[in-house]
Structure 1
């Protein structure tokens, strides 16, 4: 449940839907498995996996301290391209041999569509669950995704459920690449953080190179020389005072989050064998730690860019 990568969105208008109303909206679009001819299906599931009890843990959202966890499930039919193409080619070969004519591009596509239709009921099914939570106090939506596409898909699903979701990706006042580059040139980490041991340098030219540094002293002369030669920092590892390490990129995506021993010990102090209670403890600690991390990173990049909010 601990988020490893996050996409953060800001509500441009207050989102204050009643918890019961939000639950009912999600329940109306509960996940149902793919039918025989469905290519994919999406819907909402209970955020606490494998728990079907009545009460809070049976709801389509889990609330704690002003945070609300949601879970979206996507199921896709998997048809290997090689299998489809082989079946299509066999059909094309049969037609050309029996009718003595060449199969054109349009007819080949029609054959392919028919083949996919016939194979779908026997296709493998791949499922994944994506979590996200609403931070009602800060009016943010945090999605556990390493890609902008994954974050947008979660938003689209939530928008379809509630009717309107006025959110935009969280952005900073200062340009992340410039700020991160300045840290390594000066050798100074932002307040509240230490430099980690990983970064990525890019050449700004169209065909520029990329240098990835791991387990390196980021203030070393070799790295500074590359920057002075014109490269910029596109990713950097930071470690917060609370012990969270993460990789921040030039799109302000926060990736590869690792929670330090102090945070894990805090969660382990509360022993419980109940899945719902365990989830609630982890969720409460994680959301507070991530809220602090996001606030610290925003400050490091000059604050939040609030231009256009509320318009």
Structure 2
């Protein structure tokens, strides 16, 4: 159980919930497959898949949950072709032109007819609540996907006081300072070999660099021209590597060999025990990474957070 991404939400006021309470809340919104005429559906499923039945997997106060979303796939080209065929048949039979409004009605009817035979695409999104750390962490590659899960969780719980974390200075300012050496790089941070630079002007361009020394002259020339760093690959404390963007989204998480060796040392033959061990190691590492990263980015702005 290793997250590939991490979108962090900060609890804006004290929040605590037990695994039992969370399980009870989620039970009302468990996943049910799409009906014959439904295009999509979502609900909570056991994080352990076939190896578990509970909707909440809890370890050391960290509560892992999983949201499953099913979408019916109707290829646009197939729908369009069927609509055109029906419209053409009407025009021939009735000797009149089929207008746009009627075509829209035909399209709706075609989709209703096709939905029962449509293929389904299923996706599971994982997240964990860490009340003692004051965060919700979502394994999502985009802010929208993370917000969708948080919104669904909010509906299930009735209340979820979270927001993305804020820092005292703009991430792009910090990234740029690290590369042009106007800001010291924290000791636990090591630059990778990827970055994205943007021209802040309205019609400015974007430069994506990969496999380069980020202190090289070609990067510095872009910085001297006024471009800002909006995405940066980093390694944290020799244990975790990732790409961090200007929204503080953590992508392409890779946990180091040390953690994998710790997992391999655990004597666990069954899949559920191995899953639990990996989840424990991951949450322990992220519990150190998240506050350390916020501090490295200039410090967290906690002005909107109600402290205990």
Fold in common (TM above 0.5): yes
Partner of 2:25: 25
- Find the aligned partners of 2:97 and 2:269 in 1 and give their Cα distance: 67
2:300 maps to 1:304? yes
Shift of 1:191: 2.9
Give the structure 2 partner of residue 239 of structure 1: 235
Q: Which runs of 5+ in 1 are unaligned?
A: 52-56
1:113-152 to structure 2, matched below 5 A, reads 113-152=108-147
Would the aligned equivalents of 2:17 and 2:131 in 1 still touch at CA under 8 Å? no
What's the CA shift for 1:307?
Answer: 2.3
Larger deviation: 278-287 or 25-34? Answer: 25-34
SS of 2:197 mapped into structure 1: strand
Cα distance between partner residues in 2 of 1:307 and 1:124? 48
Which 4+ runs in 1 deviate beyond 4 A? none
Alignment match, 2:98: 103
Contact 2:174 2:297 in 1 (8 A): yes
The normalised TM-score by structure 1 is 0.95
Aligned equivalents of 1:197 and 1:104: distance in 2?
56
SS of aligned partner of 1:235: strand
Are residues 1:200 and 2:196 paired? Answer: yes
Q: How far, CA to CA, are the matches of 2:93 and 2:294 in structure 1? A: 68
1:170 paired residue number: 165
Q: Using a 3 Å threshold, how does the CA distance of structure 1 residues 200 and 309 change in structure 2: closer, same or farther?
A: same
Distance 2:283 2:77 in 1: 44
Task: Please say if 1:10 is aligned against 2:13.
Answer: no
CA contact (8 A) 1:200 1:234 kept: yes
Contact between 1:183 and 1:190, CA under 8 Å: does it hold in 2? no
Structure 2: stretches of 5+ with no match in the other structure: none
Instruction: Identify the residue that residue 290 of structure 2 maps to in structure 1.
Output: 294
Shift of 1:146: 1.1
> Which residue of 2 is the match for residue 54 of structure 1?
none
The number of residue pairs the alignment matches comes to 306
Deviations 1:139-165 (A, max 9, x none): 110000010111111111111111111
Q: Return the offset for 1:177.
A: 0.2
Provide Cα deviations, 1:152-206, integer angstroms capped at 9, x if missing partner.
1111111111111111111211100000000000185323111111111111122
| 1:47 aligned residue | 47
What is the rounded CA distance, in whole Å, between the counterparts of 1:241 and 1:156 in structure 2? 33
- Alignment correspondent of 2:76: 81
Q: Deviations over 1:66-124 (max 9, x none)?
A: 11100110001000001100000000101111111111111110110111111100100
Q: TM-score, normalised by structure 2?
A: 0.96
d(CA) in 2 for partners of 1:177 and 1:165?
29
